[in-house]
Amino acid sequence: MDIQPKKANGQTVLLLHGKYFNGRYWQNVIQHLVDLGYRVVVPDQIGFGQSSQPDDFQYSFQQLTMNTRDLLDYLHIYHVLVIGHSMGGMLATRLH
Structure confidence at residue 47 (pLDDT): 67
Task: Write the CATH number for 36.
Answer: 3.40.50.1820
Structure confidence at residue 49 (pLDDT): 66
Based on the structure, what is the number of domains in the chain?
A: 1
CA distance 90 to 81: 15
Q: Note down pLDDT in tens along the chain; length 96 residues.
A: 999 999 999 999 999 988 888 888 899 999 999 999 999 999 988 767 677 677 787 778 898 899 999 999 999 999 999 999 999 999 999 987
Structural domain range at position 32? 2-93
Structure confidence at residue 50 (pLDDT): 75
Cα–Cα distances (Å) from 35 to 62, 77, 78, 79, 84, in that order, read 33, 20, 22, 20, 20
Structure confidence at residue 36 (pLDDT): 98
